[in-house]
Structure 1
Amino acid sequence: MKLIFNFLVIFTFFSCNQKESKKNLEHQLSERQKKEQSFGEYFFDNSKTISFTNKDRYFYSFLSYYNSNNIYRKRLRSGTEGIDILNIDSTKSKKELLISDDHQIFLRDFRSFYVQNSDSIFLHGINLIQIVDSSGEIIFEKNYEIPIEIPSSYFPISNNNSSKSFLKGYDFYFTRLLDMYPNNEMYNSNTLMRYNLVENKLYEVTNTNYPKFYFDNCWFLQDYTIHYAINDNDEIVYSFPIDDYIYIYSLSDNKIVKKINCKSKYKEKNPIAANCDKLWDAKSNYKHTYESFLYGDVVFDPKKYIYYRFAKIPETEYSLNQKFDSKNNRFIIMVLDQNFNLIHESKIYNKTPLYLSFDYFVTDEGLWISTNNPSRVDYDEDILSFELFNFKAK
């Protein structure tokens, strides 16, 4: 009887303190994640966080990349004010007017953007490229012609961290939308386009098709998402969800010049190809996404001259009645040196959940990953928060 009474006391104590426990949950998990990460010759120092406020401008995420002058950010329900996230010494953001109210409406029609500096914000639509300055004035505008026979194939995909639009000289590169059935014809199509600003011409970038791993099978949409990073050698570093290899594409040679096996030590088996008759079946998609190990974004860190490669970890407990939510996935961060040798891996459990693995940026200090997950207990829609993954030697 005494034992039962003691148990009830303990149970009541924990019930009364449930709210307090929730507050401490994320901190405890973060500490545990650090311990999981600290193995081998290197480790991630997660001791620094930053946050920015933007009152009454609802958003939970933006997509950005390394550029000291990049002050324009893509946000949900984007307002007219930008956020300078690279000013990490400040607890609050600097706000700058980048696109005027008159030009906000155009953002809905643009599929990608690229920021060179405050006076060259590239906005890329279905067949239109504009360059606007910091006040929103159009300083360059060109329409390019797209082939009548397959116009949709030359639409750009939405710009994101996975495959960013970028500028090299007078050439503006963007990822081509392949609105095709996932078969050999699609996999053999070039995935990158080049628009020359001087010639006002659109070109396919040759030899940017899918690797052989894809051929002769059907795959789900998430399996052929394109991920790449641009390094300082005018090379595109490709990572594909179902392929262990990293592919190095030379912009000067217009071809793949190297491929390196960068298989994660946490990968136990390859994803299973889709049944071609069930490509659009929701539960088949859910099951495949939950159970598959899929590589994600590859990120170049120019200061440390290393690469971060993300990967999604398979789930063992899930319901097919619930769509896979990429905001709450467990993931891995692989670190590759300048020769693409795998030198470190960290498994991020993200059980709270805390992180948004697709929302990040890089500064001289390292990789910053969003901790602004909407599923957090203390989520605040007016705050953007990030945690530094500073890669160090022990």
Structure 2
Amino acid sequence: MKKILLLLIAVISSCTTSNQDDNNSVAQEQKLELVATDIVKHYPLDELSMYQTNYYQTKNINDTIYLFWANKEIPYISVYNLNSEKKITDIKFDSDGNNGIGGWGGFYLHNWDSIFVFGAKSFQVTLANQKGEVLGRCRLYDTGKESPFMLPLPRSNAHQSFLIGDTLYFRANDNSTYRVDEPSFFNANFLYAIDIRTMKGLGFIKIGDSEIDGNENIWGAYFTHLQYTLSFDSSQLLISYPIENNIHIRHFNKKENIKKIMCNSFYFENIKSKWSESKYFNHHEKHYLENPSFRYLLADKYNRVYYRFAYQAIEETNAEGKKQNWDDKPCSIIILDEEYNIVGETLLPKKIYSRNHFITQEGLWLSEGHYRNPDLDEDNLSFRLFKLQRKK
């Protein structure tokens, strides 16, 4: 396994940038669209759960699909039957002690007895079961050698973690030089791999582009919002930078150059960063809000299409003088086929849908948990079904 990983790292690290594909423009025929249905699923929240989270996952276990919804601040996961909309159980973890997970930075659930918890403070991945019992640990570095602030930090959610064979990949920072001013520490442009059978670390895998690494005018506010997904055959990693038009493709299993696929939105022109303008210098969030941007990149294995979420620019403050945030940016969803051709784009209503979503055989489900939704119910999760259809 280690030999395979070393070869993998060598292949990915040796990639160079190819010419941009200019044929994938918004001028292509819009063949498909996402259509909102009247079908909405509701999941009751308890006093420890919030209507938005960064840590959640859907998983088919023994032909039953579950929704795992975690508190953002404490290690607590609510488990729902996705179809019946009923709460099944809770999964709780200790933060400290011999059975502690050492901080809460997300999770990846493989099965009921294999839950991988990312330690935001202990720089480790903990293997636990549904009872919260710790079964194993993998430390990224020996935290006794240096200040923990300068060590790699695993931070991930289910969308940013994936399992290929017995190897779990998740997003992490690499600061092996122990220099906190290194761009790699903040960018999190690496994946870390562990063998789930032995809980041994297999090392970092670079996924960033050397032309982009450390360049905040492309990464976005505080170097966040980089997104990626696996291709349908798990041989390619599709990468979406926040303020960059292209989707970048890296190949896992053969020596091949990075491929760039132009993926523009119909609703704004090619992104041209404004970071060089003096009013944005050291005003990261203002720069992100007032630039068009991209965020989520999803693979719909049922319809064999990809979805890229595109966000229009807004002013930092609204007409009432109130500061706006990332969720206030109007969103559209670009649809790409298996060959990465744009085949449609759907504009969503403003201030209804939030950042949470999942895909089932029925279609794409979007959370109606936008904090400014006039019909927001903070005691229930609400997901509306969108069907992929041919445009009439």
Q: Aligned in 2, Cα 1:95/1:81: closer, same or farther, shift over 3 Å? A: farther
Aligned match of 2:367:
370
Change (3 A) 1:153 1:80: closer
* Cα distance in 2 between the residues matched to 1:158 and 1:215: 18
CA drift of 1:150 comes to 9.1
With 328-337 and 168-177 compared, the bigger mean Cα shift is at 168-177
Give the C-alpha shift of residue 97 in structure 1.
3.1
Is it true that 1:98 corresponds to 2:91 in the alignment?
yes
Q: Secondary structure at the match of 2:106?
A: strand
* 2:36 aligned with 1:46: yes
What is the correspondence of 1:271-286 to structure 2 with a 5 Å cutoff?
271-275=272-276, 281=282, 284-286=283-285
Map residues 1-394 of structure 1 onto 2, 5 A cutoff.
Answer: 40-47=30-37, 48-62=39-53, 63-69=55-61, 71-76=67-72, 82-84=78-80, 86-87=82-83, 90=84, 92-99=85-92, 106=100, 109-125=103-119, 126-145=122-141, 152=149, 155-160=152-157, 164-177=160-173, 191-197=190-196, 198=198, 200-206=200-206, 208-210=207-209, 212-213=211-212, 220-222=220-222, 225-234=225-234, 235-253=236-254, 257-275=258-276, 281=282, 284-315=283-314, 318-319=317-318, 322-350=322-350, 353-356=351-354, 358-394=355-391
Please give the TM-score of this superposition, normalised by the length of structure 1: 0.74
SS at structure 2 position matched to 1:241: coil
The question of whether the paired residues in 1 share the 8 Å contact of 2:245 and 2:270 is answered with: no
Structure 2: which amino acid aligns with 1:61?
Answer: Q
CA RMSD of aligned residues (A): 3.6
Aligned partners of 1:141, 1:370: CA distance in 2, in Å? 34
Tell me whether 230-239 or 101-110 shows the greater mean CA deviation: 101-110
Distance 1:43 1:73 in 2: 28
Q: Which whole-Å deviations, capped at 9, do the CAs of 1:78-130 have from their partners, x for residues lacking one?
A: 5856232522xx3x422213235788994670323101111211012243222
Assess if the C-alpha contact under 8 Å between 1:372 and 1:385 holds in 2. yes
Q: CA contact under 8 A between 1:128 and 1:144: conserved in structure 2?
A: yes
Q: Distance in 1 between matches of 2:223 and 2:105?
A: 21
- 1:160 & 1:199 partners in 2: Cα distance? 19
Q: State the SS of the aligned residue for 2:160.
A: coil
Whole-angstrom CA distance in 1 between matches of 2:106 and 2:117: 6
Q: For residue 314 of structure 2, what is the amino acid of its counterpart?
A: E
**Unaligned 5+ runs, structure 1:** 1-38
Q: Which has the higher strand share?
A: 2
Over the matched positions of the two proteins, sequence identity in percent amounts to: 22
1:30 is aligned to none
C-alpha contact 1:46 1:389 (8 A) present in aligned 2: yes
Letter in 1 for 2:379: D
Q: Secondary structure at the match of 1:391?
A: strand
Larger helix percent? 1
Q: Residue 8 of structure 1 aligns with which residue?
A: none
Structure 2 stretches lacking a partner, 5+ long: 1-28
Deviation for aligned residue 1:64: 3.2
CA contact (8 A) 1:173 1:194 kept: yes
